[in-house]
Amino acid sequence: MRLPLFIVVPVFFIACATVPRVPGEPLYLSKCGACHQRPGRGSFDASGWREVLEGHQSRFPLTKEEMALLSEFLAGGTGQ
């Protein structure tokens, strides 16, 4: 059965709107508390975070996308 477009299109937009707006957050929550306390967001800027994450590559590898998402998320915090 083909769904009419006037149903498919709004459903598509609603689905997109419910995707987390900060895609790095689930990664941060699941990965960054495993070995030490989760570091505060905003302790470094995006390039500082990238360096921290690159330094972590030998401990646990992240893909380029994961690193980009994480450094963006981490740099956006207010330092709590």
Residue whose C-alpha is closest to residue 72's, from 24, 12, 2, 1? 24
By CB under 6 A, residue 64 contacts ligand HEC: no
By CB under 6 A, residue 39 contacts ligand HEC: yes
Identity at 51, one-letter amino acid code:
E
By CB under 6 A, residue 70 contacts ligand HEC: yes
What is the greatest pairwise CA distance in the chain? 53
C-beta of 23 vs 31, nearer to ligand HEC: 31
By CB under 6 A, residue 55 contacts ligand HEC: yes
Stretch of 5-13, 15-23, 30-38 contacting ligand HEC, by CB under 6 A = 30-38
